[in-house]
Amino acid sequence: MNRKRTKITPQYEDMGDEKKCKEIWKPENWENVFENLRKMRVIRNAPCDLGKSDTSKFSEKERRFHCLVALMLSSQTKDEVNHAAVTRLKEHGLTVENILKTSDEKLGQLIYPVGFWKTKVKFVKEACQVLKDEYDCDIPRTVKDLCNLKGVGPKMAYLCMSSAWGECVGIGVDTHVHRIAARMGWTEKECKTPEATRNALESWLPQDRWREVNILLVGFGQQICSPIGPKCGECLNKDLCPTGQKWTPSPKKKTPTPKKKTLSKYKAKYIKEVVKVLKEQYDCDIPRSVKDLCKLKGVGPKMAHICMSSAWNEPSGIGVDTHVHRIAGRLGWTQKECKTPEATRIALETWLPRDLWVEINWMLVGFGQEMCRPVGPRCGECLNKDICPTGKNWVPSPKKKVSPKKKVN
Ligand code: SF4
Ligand code: SF4
């Protein structure tokens, strides 16, 4: 890792009559790099950006508890899956008292399939008891006290202080922040652990950026600077980042495949055309009906229904993507075989209660990514194995009966 391009900023501290010179290491060009990160994350559409919607119907105390539980469930879990689990918990009643009244079995069903769900049921229950006994059903207000709760580590505690209490007392460093900080040369020395990265970043990054840096880097790590094969070719920091400077396009994939190239070309064209229509016909807002949304270039029924629900908070229909289409078919949730997602949407809407239309999309998309995958669904671990027609016919593969990591908690 190239750590030569650094800048030392002398800072002077009053020490009585003396002035002591304190040298603070800072990565060169970090402001430009930060600005580029903001540009690349201007559209908050990474998985980690889910669930920042309406919280007004909950009290402040409940909202803080929601933040804590969401963080406790988040480890080893995709954001989409976590978001769906927290949504189910909220519908069930996500308060300390209600969770304590909920059986472990029910709680497990509500949070499944988050990673290590059995252990998390135990930790959440234990934490609730502590919150009830010692914090009047609120959550602790210090990193130290948060870390005393089972299943809460420093990363979660710092994020919790910021999201629940609005007090950013430290940078939440997860694997994304840890990895990207190293790749960008944002730590003076190599840091072996996220906790070391947190200390290193906090030594030079101004405190008013601590909260933002987590939000920026987590989404950036999910979309561009991924653990394997970072897309340095698309990164605005390619020429400022030590890793990007050494990056060479893979010989196999020198240029985007024709399909991808064509798609991004079309998307850029569609966005331009849509922006023009929005400006001319909708006063720079977006249409408020599926019909009008579908008139926009590049917007189909699935997008329109999801948009009505996420943008207008008015669910108009089920957003059926390939996951929902596939799983509905496997579960036997359509009376006849549906050849297209649109046919599946119509079939599901004939019988599924309207108040479940938004949730079914989140649930099945996350479930399809984690469990009921396109190839090799993990029926052996699925709670619906004995109810689902596909699960009933499932036989364990002779090579890989059960993954040991997921088996025990
Ligand atoms: S240039 Fe590559 S390694 Fe550096 S921040 Fe961008 S994507 Fe990550
Ligand atoms: S049993 Fe298998 S096919 Fe059926 S829903 Fe579960 S993972 Fe999907």
Flag whether pLDDT at 381 surpasses 80: yes
Residue 23 dihedral angles phi and psi, to the nearest 5°: -95, 125
- CB–CB of 264/271 below 8 Å? no
Q: What is the mean pLDDT of the chain?
A: 85
Domains 47-165 and 260-392 belong to one CATH topology: no
Instruction: Give the closest residue (by CA) to ligand 2 atom 2.
Output: 379
| Pairwise pLDDT comparison (257 vs 369), residue with the higher score | 369
Ligand 1 proximity of 244 Cβ (cutoff 6 Å): yes
Q: Which atom of ligand 1 is nearest to the CA of 242?
A: 4
CATH number of 260-392: 1.10.1670.10
Distance 130 CA to ligand 2 centre (A): 37
What integer pLDDT is reported at residue 16 of this predicted model? 47
Digit-coded pLDDT (tens) for 225-263: 998 889 999 999 999 999 999 998 876 655 555 555 666
Flag whether pLDDT at 51 surpasses 80: no
Q: Which atom of ligand 2 is nearest to the CA of 391?
A: 1
Q: Which element (helix H / strand E) includes 6? A: strand 6-15
* Residue 172: C-alpha distances to residues 153, 158, 178, 250 (Å): 10, 5, 10, 33
**93 dihedral zone (left: phi>0; alpha: psi -120 to 50; beta):** left
Give whichever of 177-191, 268-282, 290-304 has the largest mean pLDDT. Answer: 177-191
Q: For domain 47-165, is the CATH number 1.10.4030.10? A: no
Q: Which atom of ligand 1 is nearest to the CA of 235?
A: 6
- CB–CB of 305/318 below 8 Å? yes
The pLDDT > 70 percentage for the chain reads: 86
Digit-coded pLDDT (tens) for 111-155: 988 888 889 999 999 999 999 999 999 999 999 999 999 999 888
What integer pLDDT is reported at residue 217 of this predicted model? 94
Query: Within a 10 A sphere around the Cβ of 109, how many other Cβ atoms?
Result: 15
| Pairwise pLDDT comparison (330 vs 361), residue with the higher score | 330
Question: What gap in Å lies between CA 267 and CA 271, rounded to an integer?
Answer: 6
Q: Which of 112, 371, 375, 388 to mutate to test the pocket of ligand 2 (most atoms within 8 A of CB)?
A: 388
Digit-coded pLDDT (tens) for 163-208: 899 898 999 898 899 999 999 999 999 999 999 999 999 999 999 9
What is residue 78's three-state secondary structure?
coil
Give the pTM: 0.56
Looking at all shown ligands, the one closest to residue 374's CA atom is 2
Distance 245 CA to ligand 1 centre (A): 9
Catalytic residue among 78, 90, 155, 302: 155
Q: Which of 81, 363, 385 to mutate to test the pocket of ligand 2 (most atoms within 8 A of CB)?
A: 385
The pLDDT > 90 percentage for the chain reads: 46
Q: Where are the domains of the chain?
A: 47-165, 260-392
Respond yes or no on whether the N-terminal peptide bond of residue 396 is cis (omega within 30° of 0).
Answer: no
Encode burial over 187-222: b for 16+ CB neighbours within 10 A, e otherwise: beeebeebeebbebbeebbeeebbbbbbbbbbbbbb
Ligand 1 proximity of 290 Cβ (cutoff 6 Å): no
Query: Does residue 231 have an active-site annotation?
Result: no
| Pairwise pLDDT comparison (221 vs 305), residue with the higher score | 221
What integer pLDDT is reported at residue 401 of this predicted model? 46
Question: What gap in Å lies between CA 76 and CA 91, rounded to an integer?
Answer: 23
Q: Which of 215, 248, 220 is nearest to 236 (CA)?
A: 220
